[in-house]
A and B are shown apart, each in its own frame.
Chain A
Amino acid sequence: MKRAAVVAIGFGLAMLTVPALAESVSITELDADPGRYDGTIVTITGEVVGDYGHASDVVWIQLNDDAYALSPLAETGALQGTNTGLGVRLAPRLYSDDWGEPGRSGMRGPLLEITGTFKYNSDDDQGETFIDAESIVLIEPARQISATVHQRLWPAVSGSLLLLVGSGLFVVGRVKRSRH
């Protein structure tokens, strides 16, 4: 809870530093009315998930601003719907190794505040929809989620026992069959 509060305050402070021109929006808002934001400078805040795509002259990342960015499922166990994410293209100079690993199982990816131009079905980019990043603020680097709500041994123990019993039954069946 304490950590979530600190991150939430970080989010709030980050909002205050957003350049005056940039409109702070959620990915759901962009997705619902992309024409309205096409070509405008927007700011989105969220977690990098999946991979860093170090292509030849740019870096591609996927930024999710869903509930799991602030409250990782593995920590809270609370299901809050599906992911909402958007691709972000950035110049290699904007990328930093300090961010840490992207979000995956057991890993909360870095929280970034990204300001850039929203491009919807962009003609110059083979119809892609994404944010062309101009500035990036690191709110919190990636961190390992060590204590997860799914740490339990019973499936492994019962699974092993069942496997043993099942294998025995299978062998008995085969022996019976060969005698028959």
Chain B
Amino acid sequence: MLLKPSRADFHRIIHDIGVILLVSAAAGVFPLIWALLEGEWYAAGDLLMMIGIGVVIGGATQAFRPPSNRGVDWSHGLVVVGLTWLAVPALAAIPLWLSGHFGQPIDAYFEAMSGITTTGLSLAQDLDHLPVSINVWRHTIHFLGGQGIVLAALTFFSASGALSLYQAEGREERIFPSVTSTARFIWLVSAVHLVIGVSALFIDGVVIQGFDPGRSLFHAVTIFMAAFDTGGFSPQSSSITYYRSPVFEAVTAVLMIAGAMSFGLHHAIWHRKKRLGSNLEIRTIVSTFLITLTLTTVGLAAIGAYSDPAALTRRSLFHVLSAHTGTGFATVSTAELGRWSGLAYAGMAIAMALGGMSSSTAGGVKSLRIGLTVRAIYDSVKVALLPERAVISSSFRQYGEQRLNPKLAQSVMAVSLLYVALYLAGAGIAIANGFPLEQALFESVSASANVGLSVGLTTPTMPFVLKVVYILQMWVGRLEFIAAFALIGFVVAWVRGK
């Protein structure tokens, strides 16, 4: 029997979402300061509008909806996270829509959802003339989403049931016993990368590319946020092609790798833990990266895209990294990427679909699931080949020895299959809207795995229904299904429960 959610359930959920909206609105202060420094008064007004709405909604939930004493259980955590990831983009879209660079409100919402889920697909028009502060806001959304909105809120507001909220956002590992300590560690890692990354990009901008220092700082900050949070937005319409600097590409590549690494791995590296190379997840991601890199490089060589080996390696390496980490930066035009056919297309599409590490800012199926799925299939084959009485005990190494039991194998295979279904569903809808199979599949994988590379299907003139589908794919892909399903279950229980 379905149990109808009680009034106290709603109070608790509304209260928590209110807190998260307050934190999201507070993040708008950063671009607001930038707007004031740049003298972009009207953009500052647009940002102030967003902050005001966020604070009113957040403040009202605190004033009129006092929380009950009960904490947040697992299902509440999932519902809060599911709703939060729909509500925050709506708030974040306000200054984007007011900027006048989006054709319809849904385009601004698409952009905000793409930003918060660190996808990087964009429907902005005349991006090259977008106010600097609004551009900074687009990238701040990446940072907020990449770090985890709920995680950000937990850092500032302690909450009962913090663990449920934390895990519901797609983070499985706890680096420290307390969620708050884990959140602080994640912010510390990000801050260290911010200082190093922004400095390196800034120096490259001034010294190698010859930009003026103010503009160089703008490029460095925005590209850092998009790279480290595996987002993919860029301040100029031509993505990383704009910079034409191997050093800039190299720094960006390092940041993309750092972003796609789990914070558990960051912790292990910081503490110089040994035998990291034997971890299943690391072995899997290195293997899949090498396979997709080989496919793409051979494919590009086969179509004769680059006759110079150095140029060929530079392009394939950067793009496979961008696809596998789920970032979505490009150093070729959208039309050029669309010409990558055969093995090059396959290599890129597979890299996007597989994604980065679990508990990182990357999307996709994730390497640990891929590794466990392969291991489970291998075990099944072994069982079939060995005598009936043979007992097989399967284990894997992931920061220590762990057992692969049937329940775990089933769960990772189910999520992997759900991702495949999501990729195919999006592709099917695009095909039904008249797009060719290759384009439709590439774009669907890119949206679902939160990558952001495009072969030209994502434009402001694309069908309305496809915009909605991609928004849902980005949302479901980022939440790794569970929170989305829990939200649907909650609505069903509310409507049909007793």
Q: What is A's interface to B at a CB cutoff of 8 Å?
A: 31-32, 34, 49-56, 59-60, 62, 64, 66, 68, 72-74, 77, 79-83, 85, 87, 103-107, 121, 123, 126-130, 148-163, 165-170, 172-174, 176-177, 180
Closest B residue to A130 using CB positions? B244
Chain A residues positioned under 8 Å from B238 (CB to CB): 62, 83, 85, 87
**Given A103-B128, A121-B306; A156-B44 close (CB under 8 Å):** yes
Q: Can you identify 6 A-B contacts, CB atoms within 8 angstroms?
A: A87-B242, A104-B128, A104-B129, A150-B42, A156-B41, A158-B49
What are the 3 closest A-B residue pairs judged by CB atoms, nearest first? Answer: A127-B311, A162-B52, A173-B62
Closest B residue to A83 using CB positions? B237
Q: Please determine whether A81 and B210 come into contact, CB atoms closer than 8 angstroms.
A: no
Q: Please determine whether B62 and A51 come into contact, CB atoms closer than 8 angstroms.
A: no
| Distance between Cα atoms of A82 and B64 in the complex (Å) | 44
Chain B residues positioned under 8 Å from A62 (CB to CB): 128, 236, 238, 242
Q: How far is the CB of B459 from chain A (nearest CB, A)?
A: 7
Scoring B residues 229 to 243 as 1 if CB is less than 8 Å from chain A, else 0, what string do you get?
000000011100110
**Given A49-B128, A127-B312; A166-B59 close (CB under 8 Å):** yes
Q: How far is the CB of B407 from chain A (nearest CB, A)?
A: 41
Q: Please determine whether A128 and B52 come into contact, CB atoms closer than 8 angstroms.
A: no
Closest B residue to A154 using CB positions? B45
**Given A73-B101, A126-B311; A85-B128 close (CB under 8 Å):** yes
| Distance between Cα atoms of A49 and B236 in the complex (Å) | 9
Q: Check B9 for interface membership: any CB of A closer than 8 A.
A: no
Q: Please determine whether B210 and A166 come into contact, CB atoms closer than 8 angstroms.
A: no
Chain A residues positioned under 8 Å from B64 (CB to CB): 169, 173
Chain A residues positioned under 8 Å from B37 (CB to CB): none
What is the interface size of chain B, counting residues whose CB is below 8 A from a CB of the partner? 71
**Given A104-B132, A149-B100, A180-B66; A165-B56 close (CB under 8 Å):** yes
Residue of B53, B59, B315 with most partner-chain A CB within 10 A: B59
Closest B residue to A156 using CB positions? B45
Q: How far is the CB of A67 from chain B (nearest CB, A)?
A: 9
Residues of B79-134 whose CB lies within 8 A of A: 98-103, 124-132
| Distance between Cα atoms of A85 and B126 in the complex (Å) | 11
Chain A residues positioned under 8 Å from B124 (CB to CB): 82
Identify 13 new A-B residue pairs, CB closer than 8 A, beyond the known A53-B210, A156-B45, A163-B52.
A31-B335, A54-B210, A59-B210, A64-B128, A105-B130, A105-B131, A107-B129, A123-B307, A127-B314, A130-B244, A156-B49, A165-B59, A166-B54
Chain A residues positioned under 8 Å from B132 (CB to CB): 104-105
Q: Please determine whether B211 and A51 come into contact, CB atoms closer than 8 angstroms.
A: yes
Q: Please determine whether B125 and A79 come into contact, CB atoms closer than 8 angstroms.
A: yes
Residues of B20-42 whose CB lies within 8 A of A: 22, 40-42
| Distance between Cα atoms of A107 and B215 in the complex (Å) | 15
Residue of B62, B126, B461 with most partner-chain A CB within 10 A: B126
| Distance between Cα atoms of A151 and B131 in the complex (Å) | 13
**Given A121-B305, A167-B59; A79-B101 close (CB under 8 Å):** yes
Q: Check B51 for interface membership: any CB of A closer than 8 A.
A: yes
Q: How far is the CB of B213 from chain A (nearest CB, A)?
A: 11
Partner of B126, one of A54, A83, A126: A83
Chain A residues positioned under 8 Å from B127 (CB to CB): 82-83
Closest A residue to B61 using CB positions? A173
Closest B residue to A127 using CB positions? B311
Q: Please determine whether A81 and B209 come into contact, CB atoms closer than 8 angstroms.
A: no
Q: Please determine whether B63 and A172 come into contact, CB atoms closer than 8 angstroms.
A: yes
**Given A79-B103, A85-B128, A126-B246; A159-B211 close (CB under 8 Å):** no
Q: How far is the CB of B240 from chain A (nearest CB, A)?
A: 12
Q: Check B449 for interface membership: any CB of A closer than 8 A.
A: no
Q: How far is the CB of B67 from chain A (nearest CB, A)?
A: 8
Q: Please determine whether B306 and A103 come into contact, CB atoms closer than 8 angstroms.
A: no
Chain A residues positioned under 8 Å from B102 (CB to CB): 79
Q: Please determine whether B62 and A50 come into contact, CB atoms closer than 8 angstroms.
A: no
| Distance between Cα atoms of A170 and B44 in the complex (Å) | 23
Q: Check B460 for interface membership: any CB of A closer than 8 A.
A: yes
**Given A55-B210, A81-B459; A156-B308 close (CB under 8 Å):** no
Chain A residues positioned under 8 Å from B45 (CB to CB): 152-157, 159
| Distance between Cα atoms of A59 and B211 in the complex (Å) | 10
Q: Check B212 for interface membership: any CB of A closer than 8 A.
A: yes
Closest B residue to A158 using CB positions? B49
Residues of B356-410 whose CB lies within 8 A of A: none
**Given A62-B242, A83-B128, A126-B311; A162-B53 close (CB under 8 Å):** yes
Chain B residues positioned under 8 Å from A167 (CB to CB): 55, 59
Q: Check B46 for interface membership: any CB of A closer than 8 A.
A: yes
Q: Please determine whether A159 and B66 come into contact, CB atoms closer than 8 angstroms.
A: no
| Distance between Cα atoms of A128 and B126 in the complex (Å) | 24
Closest A residue to B44 using CB positions? A156
Q: Check B336 for interface membership: any CB of A closer than 8 A.
A: yes
Q: How far is the CB of B141 from chain A (nearest CB, A)?
A: 18
Q: Please determine whether B128 and A166 come into contact, CB atoms closer than 8 angstroms.
A: no
